């Protein structure tokens, strides 16, 4: 019977060895896929997220697609290694007590591994072609990987580059929360973008039990991020600044401005820079109300006008040469400005529909703007924001054109290859699904106010072209005067 047991164990080892080799091959295959495939379309979050499930969503969403598969096979890899060793010891080592000891040790080891991987932290690594894990997504709910320091060139725990915290009450009523953000419209200069204190009331019952509009966000990052585009991008940048600059650090923000509107009531930024921000990074805005191209460049180095649809590299140099303090107490020592931005890590680009006609926004122009952003700002990651419904969408054909532009952006991100890329070129094109998200808000709101059949099931928001079906209600507008 002992020989039969040994024979069975040998068969088991052979099966485990084959599975072990298969697992290693699969991990290497996934690493190659991660280094060559860039298929990031954005994330559509469901509307039925409650406060109690918010942390769960934060923890689970990174484990999707290849990332989840990679994590699974990595776990199996660690499980198979001790299993092989202990089973081999059982076969070729004699002695009843030794066998029992080794078997128990194997069980304990597997239990320890299982416990270690069942915590709240999931680390999904994205491998680059150079064999280094430059990027990882870590979701956790224990409050670590966070910094309240404004000192430049710092590193957060686990080398996290950007981290966020959610606050379930409006910052105007928050007390005892050191990293609570400023109001999102804190740096807005257009009266229509601002909310008075009377505008902040309790949400209606249909929304009060959902985590949709009843929270704000604070951010800590050592990244240097710049937003490029028109006044919509300006608002993106201002809201981001309000999230990365805590109370007392508002003075870390600089802006070059102009006015327009009746009696000069609107104050706009054409350039802005915030540094250092919470976490040691920097944030900036560059008004370019077109797509950067050789033909849209102007020789004027200081252009700062509302109707200008040009750009000049001197504007980029102004932001790159922006100086700020290296002190952690920057708000008190801004006279010691001994650090410069030098280069940006990421560009958040908006395609300026309105300033540009739909037919002017072409793949070739977008790709030229991507390359020029990298050339003059140094960023190797470009994030493009998809277009939502806006006042420039007047006819159904306009709406179809916007949908085609958004799909064009996704296709560019998918197909952006590395075969001809130089070391300093753009590595990653990512998609910020701003259009998809806001279109979901509009469609859901239309259902609640009965603009559309309120008994109909909401569409699958992850499907391409969902916003085009039954979109006739979007063309029903109230007449209004304008002074733009």
Q: What tens digit of pLDDT does each residue of 21-70 get?
A: 666 666 565 555 444 333 333 333 333 333 333 333 222 223 333 444 44
Do residues 326 and 336 lie in contact, with contact meaning Cβ atoms separated by under 8 Å? Answer: yes
- Asked which of 103-107, 276-280, 393-397 is least confident by mean pLDDT, the reply is 103-107
pLDDT at 477 (0 to 100): 79
Residue 106's pLDDT band, with cuts at 50, 70 and 90, is low
C-alpha of 385 from chain center: 11
- CA-based end-to-end distance of the chain: 91
pTM above 0.75, yes or no: no
Cα 166 from Cα 215, distance rounded (Å): 6
Most confident of 6-10, 132-136, 175-179: 6-10
What pLDDT, on a 0 to 100 scale, did the predictor assign at position 459? Answer: 86
Mean pLDDT of 239-258: 93
225: left (phi over 0), alpha (psi -120 to 50) or beta: beta
Q: Tell me the pLDDT band of 234, cut-offs 50, 70 and 90.
A: very high
Q: Give the chain's mean pLDDT.
A: 75
> Residue 142 has what pLDDT?
59
Structure tokens at 297: 């460049």
Q: Which residue has the higher pLDDT, 132 or 404?
A: 404
Which pLDDT score is estimated for 422? 61
Proportion of the chain above pLDDT 70, given as a percent: 59
Q: Residue 81: phi, psi to the nearest 5?
A: -60, -55
pLDDT of residue 57: 28
Span 306-333, mean pLDDT?
82
* CA–CA dist 342, 328 (Å, integer): 19
| The pLDDT of residue 319 is above 80 | yes
Predicted local confidence at residue 363, as pLDDT:
95
| 276 prior amide bond cis, ω within 30 | yes
Query: Measuring CA to CA, which residue among 426, 138, 163 is closest to residue 281?
Result: 163
pLDDT at 104: 62
- Report DSSP letters for 40-93, one per residue: -------S---GGGHHHHHHHTTS-HHHHHHHHHHHHHHHHHHHHHHHHHHHHS
């Amino acid at each position: 019977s002992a020989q039969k047991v040994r024979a069975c164990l040998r068969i088991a080892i052979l099966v485990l060895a084959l599975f072990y080799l298969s697992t290693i091959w699969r991990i290497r295959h996934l690493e190659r896929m991660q280094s060559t495939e860039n298929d990031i379309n954005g994330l559509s979050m469901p509307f039925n997220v409650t406060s109690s499930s918010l942390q769960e969503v934060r923890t689970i969403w990174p484990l999707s697609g290849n990332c989840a598969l990679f994590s699974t096979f990595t776990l199996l890899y660690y499980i198979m290694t001790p299993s092989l060793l202990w089973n081999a010891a059982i076969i070729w080592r004699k002695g009843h007590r030794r066998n029992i000891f080794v078997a128990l040790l194997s069980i304990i080891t597997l239990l320890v591994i299982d416990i270690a991987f069942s915590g709240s932290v999931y680390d999904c690594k994205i491998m680059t072609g150079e064999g280094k894990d430059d990027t990882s997504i870590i979701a956790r709910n224990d409050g670590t990987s966070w910094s309240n320091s404004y000192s430049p060139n710092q590193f957060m725990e686990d080398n996290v580059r950007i981290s966020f915290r959610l606050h379930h009450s409006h910052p105007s009523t928050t007390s005892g929360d050191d990293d609570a953000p400023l109001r999102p419209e804190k740096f807005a200069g257009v009266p229509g973008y601002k909310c008075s204190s009377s505008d902040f009331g309790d949400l209606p019952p249909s929304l009060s039990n959902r985590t949709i509009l009843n929270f704000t966000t604070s951010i800590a990052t050592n990244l240097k991020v710049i937003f490029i585009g028109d006044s919509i991008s300006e608002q993106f940048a201002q809201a981001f600044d309000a999230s990365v600059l805590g109370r007392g650090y508002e003075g870390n923000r600089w802006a070059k401005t102009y006015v327009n509107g009746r009696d000069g009531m609107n104050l706009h930024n054409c350039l802005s820079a915030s540094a250092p921000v919470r976490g040691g990074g920097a944030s900036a805005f560059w008004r370019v109300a077109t797509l950067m191209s050789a033909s849209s460049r102007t020789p004027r180095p200081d252009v700062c006008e509302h109707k200008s649809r040009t750009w000049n590299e001197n504007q980029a140099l102004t932001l790159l040469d922006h100086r700020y303090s290296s002190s952690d107490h920057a708000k008190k020592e801004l006279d010691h400005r001994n650090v410069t931005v030098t280069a940006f890590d990421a560009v958040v680009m908006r395609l300026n529909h309105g300033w540009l006609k739909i037919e002017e926004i072409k793949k070739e122009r977008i790709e030229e703007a991507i390359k020029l952003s990298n050339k003059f700002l140094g960023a190797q990651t470009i994030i493009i924001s998809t277009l939502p419904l806006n006042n420039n969408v007047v006819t159904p054909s306009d709406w179809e054109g916007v949908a085609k532009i958004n799909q064009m952006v996704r296709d560019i991100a998918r197909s952006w290859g590395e075969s001809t890329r130089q070391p300093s070129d753009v590595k990653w094109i990512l998609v910020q699904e701003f259009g998809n998200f806001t279109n979901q808000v509009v469609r859901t709101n239309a259902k609640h106010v009965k603009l559309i059949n309120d008994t109909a099931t909401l569409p699958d928001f992850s499907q391409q072209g969902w916003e085009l079906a039954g979109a006739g209600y979007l063309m029903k507008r109230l007449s209004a005067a304008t002074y733009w």
